[in-house]
Structure 1
Amino acid sequence: MKSHLLEVSGFDAVGYAPVVDFQTWRVAMLNYIDELEADKIDNFQCHSETDEVFVLLSGKCILFCAQVDDKENIIDIVSWDMQINQTYNIKRGVYHTHTLSEGAKVLIVENSDTDDNNSPKIMIDKRVRQQLVEITTEKWS
């Protein structure tokens, strides 16, 4: 619904979609998508120019942050089993990814110009992916 007084929007499909863009900020939704299952994740991403906020609305989501060396090799992974209605602010320059349970919904707040041009990725290998699977199994078993 859109009027001159109020705009109401939502997103119920799989994956990511912006729902509000205004001047310098964006609100987006991330819903369960199978490519974010722990055994299918293929990269960590960081945002060079901004922090990014995540709020779990329903389901389960694990937020993974990678500590990287000066050659952008992942040397450690820190994870949080997100709690509903808590705010998780990933600081600028921190490599991160996440896995969601089926039915999960995450609200995202970020700069409106956040895109692949200012969000480099580190592709991960089988060893790192296996760590993500092990962490997920441990937290959700």
Structure 2
Amino acid sequence: MNSRLIEVSGFDAVGYAPIVDFQAWRVAMLNYIDELEPQNIDNFQCHNDTDEVFVLLSGKCILFCAKVDNRQNIIDISSWDMQPNKTYNIKRGVFHTHTLSQDAKVLIVENQDTNDSNSPKIMIDQSINRQLVRITAEHWSW
């Protein structure tokens, strides 16, 4: 195959990896990683400069979005049990996190320059963490 015409990539390890960066955009993959087990989640993150798109390819994934007050306290959590092959666009400035089943593969599309400097985090306490565990159990009937 002529590599100047097409590039084929994949990612089967644990966690997150950029797959393609081109000009202003990036395609990445997110696979199961134990730090995203609901009991292990310790923060919500937002992107100040860009939306972020998630597509569930296999397994299960729950997206959590947090409503935050002006002191950066989480006051409400919404959740979506992702359906395969549908796009979920997290809008710029929305705090979010996710949990994945062990067989999950999620495609992510984001700005190429998305990084920690433009993506602040809110660390969560045990009460918020317990909410994530409870919501996950409700969605996945644990």
| TM-score, L = length of structure 2 | 0.98
Note if 1:75 corresponds to 2:68. Answer: no
- Alignment-derived partner of residue 123 in structure 1: 123
- Alignment-derived partner of residue 62 in structure 2: 62
2 CA distance for matches of 1:132 and 1:67? Answer: 14
- Alignment-derived partner of residue 99 in structure 2: 99
**Matched residue count:** 141
2 CA distance for matches of 1:92 and 1:43? Answer: 17
Quote how far apart the aligned CAs of 1:2 are.
7.3
Match runs of 1:1-141 below 5 Å: 3-141=3-141
**1:75/1:4 CA distance change after superposition, 3 Å:** same
5+ unaligned residues in a row in structure 2: which ranges? none
**Cα displacement string for residues 23-45 of structure 1 (whole angstroms, at most 9, x for unaligned residues):** 00000000000110000000000
2 CA distance for matches of 1:85 and 1:2? Answer: 29
Contact 1:63 1:80 (8 Å CA) reproduced: yes
2 CA distance for matches of 1:106 and 1:2? Answer: 28
Q: Secondary structure at the match of 1:29?
A: strand
4+ long deviations beyond 6 Å: none
2 CA distance for matches of 1:59 and 1:40? Answer: 19
**Cα displacement string for residues 40-88 of structure 1 (whole angstroms, at most 9, x for unaligned residues):** 0000000000000000000000000000000110000000000000000
Contact 1:55 1:107 (8 Å CA) reproduced: yes
**1:2/1:62 CA distance change after superposition, 3 Å:** farther
Q: CA RMSD in A?
A: 0.9
Contact 1:2 1:8 (8 Å CA) reproduced: no
Q: Secondary structure at the match of 1:39?
A: helix
